[in-house]
Amino acid sequence: MPNIKSAIKRVTTSQKAQDANISQKNDMRSAIKNAKAAIENNADNKQELVSSAVKKIDKAAKNNLIHSNKAGRLKSQVMRSK
């Protein structure tokens, strides 16, 4: 545990950021999974789920949670499975 006041603040700040990043990444993964499942089952709302997944992938790439090439690959997988 750090002793310096600014270092203590950095620990809490970085922990909050890490939690937010993990949450956003998990949300993106869930959206991709739901979109692929809806496409396989030919659900009525599959287009909405695909667009939501693409939006979350783009947001994760913009925030540098995933690499831009991975974002393109994931979007391609989701769109291709239509």
Question: How far apart (Å, rounded) are the C-alpha atoms in residues 33 and 27?
Answer: 10
Residue pLDDT tens, the chain, 82 long: 899 999 999 999 999 999 999 999 999 999 999 999 999 999 899 999 999 999 999 999 999 999 999 999 999 999 987 6
Domain span at residue 30 reads: 5-81
End-to-end CA distance of the chain: 50
CATH number of domain containing 54: 1.20.58.110
Task: State the pLDDT at residue 82.
Answer: 62
